[in-house]
Structure 1
Amino acid sequence: MKKIALAAAITTTFLLSSCETLNQYAGAYGGVLNQVVTPTQTEMSMGLKQALEFGTNYSADRLSAKDGFLGNMAVKILFPDEAKKVENTLRSLGLNQLCDNVILSLNRAAEDAAKEAKPIFVAAIKQMTFQDVSNILLGQQDAATNYFKRTTSSLLAQKFRPVIESSINKVGATRYWTDVTTRYNKIPLVKPIQTDLTGYVTDKAIAGLFVEIAQEELKIRQQAAARSTPLLQKVFGYAATKK
């Protein structure tokens, strides 16, 4: 009996010691697994630029498709604020189709212009310094969107305006807008409307583009599933640990 008891004690001690050793190894190994590898400067630049190119291309493609603006309530272009009374008055007079034609034509013009955005964003991405990359990657949730607003807004306006001017003529927006304002301005005692339609649609098209880019930026920052390459996973996984 004494021999059996001694053997049991030795076995128990050995098992406990082995478990403790295994736990130590497991803890150390788990620490390696959970460790986030710091990307190099080159990887950070390549990863961020890759993400921005994906996001801006996707945004431009989505908005330039048919109903890209018209079918998206977050960016759909409606009557200018100063012309809301115009729309309400005309609709009250049974001229719903005329108002709908204006809205349709404004959004079609914006969809045409969105096709011109890609090369402007590509150029802005290429000229980024590493400081720009670091500020965006480790910055606020909308740091990339704000960078694009700062560096591309004026170029987008220059590129969009002639396209939109041509488009609103092509799709009939100018004619519809002239019909709307002419009919409204004939109503006794109303203040005449003189909205710069091309400028209005240009501003709205650019604003809508940045809305889409902001959504894409937020997605890749917050959703690991949106990081579609190993480089994106490494770079944005690292950035997430710095928040």
Structure 2
Amino acid sequence: MKQSWVVVGLLAGTMMGALAGCQNMEAASPWVDLGNQVAKNAGYDTDSRLSRAIKDTLNASTDRASAGLSQQGAFNLRLPASAQPVVNSLRQYGFGSYVDQLELAMNRGAEQAAVEAAPVFKQAIAGMTVNDALGIIRGGDTAATSYFRGQTESTLRSRFQPIVEANLQKTGFYEQYKSMLAVYENLPIANKPSMDVERYVLDSSMTALFTRIGEEEALIRKDPVARGSVLIGQVFGEG
């Protein structure tokens, strides 16, 4: 009898892995739950396996996102729309080089900060619970990333901000920013807008990271073994 349960558990676990990759996850959910329960009755810790697969997916996605965005030229940040009156005025008066130097410093700072984002992400991933991970199984192509962002963005932002600031300091951003503002303030322009370029760089960097992580997750789900691992392939295998 025990041997029969083992066979049933293995078959259910295999069916669960296949169905987890199907597009119609609502229809598959009862089978996923059944597969989990039968496999656990047979002595297999399927919850733990699914949780590891989700964490492996996020780890792979964040590693690739951080590595990709750390390459020179990965970002293409320009001063925000609110700063366009400043940009246009400086260029009009022949001070466009101040804008160019500032934008270059912004992009170099964002690239350098991306390198240091990986360990911050890994710590957040390690803190995910089994229930958190299991809920992601039923989601769409970027369900893990969406959950990850919703649960961790505020904490990551507070930790990421000093990283961005430190790297902006290294690239000479603040010196360039002060120089640009000093020139701008002396121009004969009324109703000058205020600029929070530092916050803009932080927001843009965070958005770019999560967008890239989502793209990597979607690729892993599409080809889980090639871009992930055998374990991830068992969970996100094609249905």
TM range (shorter): 0.7 to 0.9
Task: Give the CA deviation at 1:198.
Answer: 2.5
The 1:116/1:224 distance shift into structure 2, 3 A limit, reads closer
For the residues of structure 2 that align with 1:204 and 1:216, how far apart are their CA atoms? Answer: 18
Task: Give the alignment's Cα RMSD to 1 decimal.
Answer: 2.3
State the match for 2:158 in structure 1. Answer: 158
Task: Give the CA deviation at 1:57.
Answer: 1.0
User: Is this contact kept in 2: 1:219–1:226, CA < 8 A?
Assistant: no
State the match for 2:16 in structure 1. Answer: 38
For the residues of structure 1 that align with 2:180 and 2:87, how far apart are their CA atoms? Answer: 8
| Secondary structure at 1:194 match in 2 | coil
Which letter does structure 2 place at the counterpart of 1:116?
E
For the residues of structure 2 that align with 1:127 and 1:166, how far apart are their CA atoms? Answer: 26
State the match for 2:219 in structure 1. Answer: 219
Structure 2 gap segments, 5+ residues each: 1-12, 18-45
Task: Give the CA deviation at 1:103.
Answer: 0.8
Task: Give the CA deviation at 1:48.
Answer: 1.7
The alignment-based identity, stated in percent, is 33
Task: Give the CA deviation at 1:224.
Answer: 5.0
User: Is this contact kept in 2: 1:68–1:111, CA < 8 A?
Assistant: yes
Deviations 1:91-111 (A, max 9, x none): 233333221111110111112
State the match for 1:48 in structure 2. Answer: 54
Deviations 1:140-192 (A, max 9, x none): 22211212212322222222222322332332211222222232233323323
Superposed structure 1 runs of 4+ greater than 6 Å apart: none
For the residues of structure 2 that align with 1:173 and 1:186, how far apart are their CA atoms? Answer: 20
For the residues of structure 2 that align with 1:96 and 1:150, how far apart are their CA atoms? Answer: 39
Structure 1 gap segments, 5+ residues each: 1-34, 70-75
For the residues of structure 1 that align with 2:137 and 2:190, how far apart are their CA atoms? Answer: 52
State the match for 1:19 in structure 2. Answer: none
User: Is this contact kept in 1: 2:60–2:228, CA < 8 A?
Assistant: no
Answering whether residue 112 of structure 2 is matched by residue 95 of structure 1, we say: no
For the residues of structure 2 that align with 1:182 and 1:225, how far apart are their CA atoms? Answer: 55
| Secondary structure at 2:65 match in 1 | helix
What is the TM-score normalised by the length of structure 2?
0.74
For the residues of structure 1 that align with 2:211 and 2:74, how far apart are their CA atoms? Answer: 13
For the residues of structure 2 that align with 1:220 and 1:129, how far apart are their CA atoms? Answer: 21
For the residues of structure 2 that align with 1:57 and 1:227, how far apart are their CA atoms? Answer: 12
State the match for 1:111 in structure 2. Answer: 111
For the residues of structure 1 that align with 2:80 and 2:127, how far apart are their CA atoms? Answer: 35
Q: State the aligned residue count.
A: 199
User: Is this contact kept in 2: 1:168–1:174, CA < 8 A?
Assistant: yes
State the match for 1:59 in structure 2. Answer: 65
| Secondary structure at 2:16 match in 1 | coil
State the match for 1:199 in structure 2. Answer: 199
| Secondary structure at 2:188 match in 1 | coil
Task: Give the CA deviation at 1:226.
Answer: 4.2
Which letter does structure 2 place at the counterpart of 1:205?
S
The 1:219/1:146 distance shift into structure 2, 3 A limit, reads same
Written as runs of structure 1 = structure 2, the 5 A alignment for 1:72-91 is: 76-91=76-91
Deviations 1:13-55 (A, max 9, x none): xxxxxxxxxxxxxxxxxxxxxx953243232122221111111
The 1:129/1:224 distance shift into structure 2, 3 A limit, reads closer
The 1:178/1:221 distance shift into structure 2, 3 A limit, reads same
